[in-house]
Amino acid sequence: MVGSTPGSLYTTDPMNISPALFGDFPIFQDTSQKKRVGEPTSKLFSKKANKQVSKEDSPTLQRLIKELTTPTQKTSSSNTIILQSDVSEIDKDSVNFRELYYKITNAEDNNQKITHDLIYCHYDFGKGIKLWFDHYRKICSEDASNAKVNDKIREQISAEDKLTETNLRKRKERVKKIFRLFNNIGRKEIIGRIKTFNATTILNLSQDDVDYIISKILEMTHT
């Protein structure tokens, strides 16, 4: 359920934003199917068919579900090796393959850490929204609570960031999506299981993708 104003920031449920609020309404979409000149009809149907891939057959979603349901192996801690550029040329006698290997490995680990940290931030942001909403909801209506949450966010973000209504809406949509995903499948620690996906892939999951992942993982963990 959403507020009376289409596209409003103040949805009745802060953790479930309808995708319809952030896309064009059907009335503004061109539903006509115009055939390109010189392009066979069979090719057009082929393109359309290629886009209709079920989530069950999506290698990306299936691989992500596998990672999220695979416990992280504990490894011994060690000091991070910082990969530094060396402009000097090396000769065969100065090559240290072991050192180069560990520097590259640690550089990759650092990139993975950045992915985790970025998703952690989205999770915490989304959780913060829910915590403040629940706080205000004790004394205010749902719409008023959402309005107060928006005000709270604006209070803490400096004017230099130029937080527009559109940017705030998009930010809330993304962080709520990430929080809802990981909060439903095991909370924040599950983020550490991500190994082969970058942050962009996770953050750009659609609402339908998130619903599917939650459903499949809950089904797997309760059987």
Indicate whether 159 belongs to any domain: yes
Highest mean pLDDT among 5-9, 27-31, 103-107, 131-135: 131-135
- Residue 193 lies in domain: 95-223
Kindly report the pTM of this predicted structure: 0.61
Q: Is residue 106 part of a domain?
A: yes
User: Region 109-120: what's the mean pLDDT?
Assistant: 78
Which has the closest alpha carbon to 194: 137, 84, 103, 114?
114
In a domain, 169, yes or no: yes
**Domain contains 12:** no
pLDDT digits (tens, 9 = 90+) for 49-89: 456 678 887 888 888 888 888 887 654 444 433 334 343 44
Examine residue 51 and state whether it is found in any structural domain, yes or no.
Answer: no
Structure tokens at 190: 């599950």
- Out of 23-27, 71-75, 123-127, 158-162, pick the least confident: 23-27
Average pLDDT over every residue of 166-193: 89
- The continuous run of DSSP H or E covering 47 comes out as helix 41-51
The answer to whether residue 114 sits within a structural domain is: yes
Number of separate domains in the chain: 1
Look at residue 80 in the predicted model and tell me its pLDDT: 38
Q: Is residue 109 part of a domain?
A: yes
CB 20 within 8 A of CB 181: no
In a domain, 104, yes or no: yes
d(CA 171, CA 156): 14
